Every structure is written in C-alpha cells, then in structure tokens.
C-alpha cells in the first residue's frame, strides 16, 4: 500500500452528515439528547425523577470507547489487547484493587479478535459517537438508581432505553413533532448546529469542479437531513451532492446484500417502492453499497472507481466502509481538538449564568477525569513508565481502519486537493495518520519510548 493518501487520486468523495459535515454545539446538544431519553423513562416507564437532574460535573463520565455490560450494568474501557484498563459500576469507578479482583489481566469476557467483535450485541453496547454518549451517562445513572433502591446486581433496563430511542428518533418523529429532540432542533437550530464555514463550502465546490462524484450517506431520515443541510450549507445544498442517501441504516448499508436492503425512492419524504438497481443520480432512502458502486462505475466511466468516505463513527462509518468495501476512510475525531482547544476556565462560572439557565455540559470531546485519555492509558497499579502505558482498543481501531484521522473537515479544507497525507499503516509510526498533528498523549508516549 502507498505510504501517502491524496484526495486528488479519488474519483468519489462520500460524507456522513451528523458530526461529520454537520458539527453540533456539543454542550447544548448533549443535554438535549439526555433529556429526550430521561423524560421518557421517568414519565412513561416510572423511573426515578432524580434522573432528570444533571450537574455539570456529571458530564465528566462521558467518554467515547466505553462498553456497557447490559447484564451487570458495568462500564469498561478496553486496552488494545482486550484487557480491562478501567471499569465502573454505574457511575461509581472501581478501585484498582476491585478491578484486579474482577478482571485481572485476562481478556474481557466478551472480547474477540478485532474483526470478529461487534460493537452492538445482546450482551454489551459500545459508545462510539456523540449521539450515543449522553445515553451512556443516563444508563450509568439508571444503574446507580436501581442499585441504591433495591440493591440489584443484574439489570433489564435496556429495553426501556431502546423504547426511548424509538420514541424520539423513529422515522415519523420529525414530521409528527414527536418526543423532545426534533421539536427543539426545529425551534432553534442555531442553538445546536454550527454552520459550515466558508472554507468548507468552497472546498466542496472545489471537489465538484475537479470532477469528483460527491455522495451524502446518512442514517438520518430525509426530513431531518433537509433541515440540517439547509441550515449548515444553505438552500442550494442539493446542487452540491450528486447522490444523497438517507435512512441508510449503517453499518448494514455497507455489509448487506442488495436483496436484503434495496434502495427506495422518496416522495414528500415518504419511502416508496423498492428499486431493482440504482440507475441514476438523485435522492434515495436505505439501499446498499453494492448497487451504489455499480452506479459509480457508470458515472465515473471506470471499472474500479476509488472511493473515500468521511465519517465520525467507527462502528457505522469507518470500520464497515473499510472492512466490507475497502474504501479509503477519513475519521472525524474531535478528540484531536479536545486536548488542545478547551480549558476548564473557559466554561462560565455558575454565578455568572442567568438565573434560569441550565448548567452546561462539558464538551464531550474533552478529557474525562474518570476515564482518562481516549487514546492511551496506564496499566492499573503501575507508575507511568514505558512498560505501563498501553494503547486503548479504540485507538487501535483508529489506526487499523482509518486512512487518516482529522479533528474536522475544516482542518483540511484549505489544503490543495493533491496534498499528500501520511496514512496509517504498519510501515509508519502509530501517530503518522493523524492530521494536522497527533494527540498530545501519543506524542508524549512516543517520546518516552525513544528515550
């Protein structure tokens, strides 16, 4: 494999929407997502009202890369070799002694080889994107509440979490103004969404002028997609993309066969009949990567057009696009911003907030004091020496399945299309694929190992 990657060599450039092209104001969107689930649990399922009260300190629990054991309510942070680096029962962190007794140095009970390990299962759930993370905090607090009330050791609350998700995000919710999430986004999109900077809009136009086929592939439904794109890009956004695919139901879009997941046309944002194939550019729903690739061959006139796909979710975007389709993949990893851009003193003191203003969530891309770095951690009980530091499972997946990782599209928008990025590969250093620079913890680790 070539050492470098360039957009100029790609025929097709595809994008996820949420947290990729569309960046959210995380301190505002996180409480909204949390509340949309919590209110459903309290009002419809009879959970404790204390779930509705969240302090700014509570948000420190949120960290991408955690797994929830759906049976015992524990959260775990995995090392790249499958051992457990940190764990909690609900929000209560396990002590090093309890961790050693519970997990020792053996692989986590659900761990399998990397490609064989699903991120969603009936036994566990991995949190790998910013729509998920508020749910991690809620689930942890549910475990706290149930443990405190009845001393439960096993749990079956997950079915109620799924019901809360279905209530707020079902296909008809946007149109029906159902739940809390969509009505609030519609009421005040500027509070939750960041418009694309001019540099990104010009970059998209530059890709079009260079003859690239532009795709938008999102699991959001078409009506929500229209709202987001209209706000962040402007009402002429349909002119930017050759093909828009909504309700893509990723990762199945990449892994399923055409007869399992056919494309469907849309009429007034309602799905119509299934299509036997994809014959022309346009706006579609559901679908599969096999039929899409056949259309891309026609559009580019090439037997094997080269596709690059930008996304923020390892589970839904990056892993399946690389593993099933061998596409180039660009991971949007806001944690690359978090350890440099945000300082605790930037958050407004409580006494300066308005009387009725809710406490703000800590930006979810910043370092968690409870869980430590997304990228690296120390083996419990050992000092931070060369031998004690270990890469996380999440960090390993970044370098295994991403071509490159960037904090945002804006970070590369002003580069020439033929800019040569150093890709992740076994031949390069573990920090090579991060642009514009690796996370500080990995740089420090690399320095430690060269001493």
List, by residue number, the catalytic residues: 16, 18
* Residues 6 or more apart whose Cβ sits within 8 Å of residue 40: 163, 164, 167, 168, 179
- Other C-beta atoms within 10 Å of 171: how many? 17
Strand 74-78 versus strand 376-378 pairing type: unpaired
Max distance between CA atoms of the chain, in angstroms, equals: 65
Contact 424, 433 (CB under 8 A): yes
What would the two tokens of residue 96 be? Answer: 């090093």
| Helices assigned H by DSSP within 249-407 | 252-255, 289-300, 319-325, 335-341, 393-401
Rounded (5°) CA angle 302-308-309? 130
Query: What is the rounded CA–CA span in Å between residue 340 and residue 150?
Result: 43
CB neighbour class for 35 (10 Å; exposed up to 12, middle 13-18, buried from 19): buried
What would the two tokens of residue 111 be? Answer: 């761990």
CB neighbour class for 108 (10 Å; exposed up to 12, middle 13-18, buried from 19): buried
Query: What is the rounded CA–CA span in Å between residue 34 and residue 184?
Result: 13
Contact 184, 99 (CB under 8 A): no
- How far the first Cα of the chain sits from its last, in Å, is 30
Strand 282-286 versus strand 243-246 pairing type: parallel
Query: What is the rounded CA–CA span in Å between residue 238 and residue 192?
Result: 22
- Other C-beta atoms within 10 Å of 410: how many? 15
């Amino acid at each position: 494999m070539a050492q470098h990657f360039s957009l100029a060599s790609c025929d097709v450039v595809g994008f996820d929407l949420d947290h990729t092209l569309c960046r959210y104001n995380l301190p505002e969107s996180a409480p909204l997502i949390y509340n949309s689930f919590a209110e459903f649990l309290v009002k419809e399922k009879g959970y404790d009202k204390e779930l509705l009260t969240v302090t700014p300190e509570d948000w420190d629990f949120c960290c991408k890369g955690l797994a929830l054991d759906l049976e015992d309510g524990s959260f775990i942070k995995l090392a790249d070799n499958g051992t457990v680096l940190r764990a909690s029962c609900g929000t209560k962190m396990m002590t090093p002694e309890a961790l050693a007794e519970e997990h020792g140095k053996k692989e986590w009970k659900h761990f399998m080889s990397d490609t064989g390990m699903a991120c969603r299962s009936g036994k566990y759930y991995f949190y790998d994107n910013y729509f998920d993370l508020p749910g991690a905090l809620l689930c942890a607090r549910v475990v706290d509440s149930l443990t405190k009330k009845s001393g439960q050791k096993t749990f079956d609350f997950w079915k109620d979490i799924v019901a809360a998700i279905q209530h707020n995000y079902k296909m008809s919710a946007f149109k029906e103004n159902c739940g809390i999430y969509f009505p609030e986004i519609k009421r005040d999109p500027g509070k939750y969404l960041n418009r694309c900077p001019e540099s990104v809009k010009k970059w998209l136009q530059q890709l079009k002028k260079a003859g690239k086929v532009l795709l938008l592939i999102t699991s959001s439904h078409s009506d929500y997609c229209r709202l987001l794109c209209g706000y962040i890009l402007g009402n002429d956004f349909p002119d930017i993309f050759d093909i828009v695919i909504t309700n893509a139901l990723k990762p199945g879009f990449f892994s399923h066969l055409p007869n399992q997941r056919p494309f469907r046309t849309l009429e007034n944002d309602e799905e119509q009949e299934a299509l036997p194939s994809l014959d022309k550019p346009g706006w579609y729903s559901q679908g599969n990567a096999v039929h899409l690739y056949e259309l891309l061959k026609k559009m580019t006139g090439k037997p094997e057009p080269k596709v690059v796909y930008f996304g923020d979710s390892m589970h839904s975007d990056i892993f399946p696009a690389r593993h099933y389709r061998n596409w180039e993949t660009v991971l949007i990893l806001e944690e690359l911003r978090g350890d440099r851009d945000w300082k605790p003193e930037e958050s407004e003191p409580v006494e300066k907030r308005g009387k009725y203003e809710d406490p703000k969530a800590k930006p979810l891309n910043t370092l968690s004091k409870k869980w430590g770095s997304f990228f690296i951690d120390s083996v419990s009980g050992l000092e931070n020496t060369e031998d004690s530091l270990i890469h996380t499972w999440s960090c390993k997946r970044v370098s295994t399945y991403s071509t490159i990782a960037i904090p945002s599209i804006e970070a590369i928008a002003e580069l020439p299309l033929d800019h040569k990025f150093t890709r992740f590969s076994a031949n390069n250093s573990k920090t090579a694929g991060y642009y514009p620079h690796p996370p500080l913890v990995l740089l420090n680790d690399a320095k430690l190992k060269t001493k």
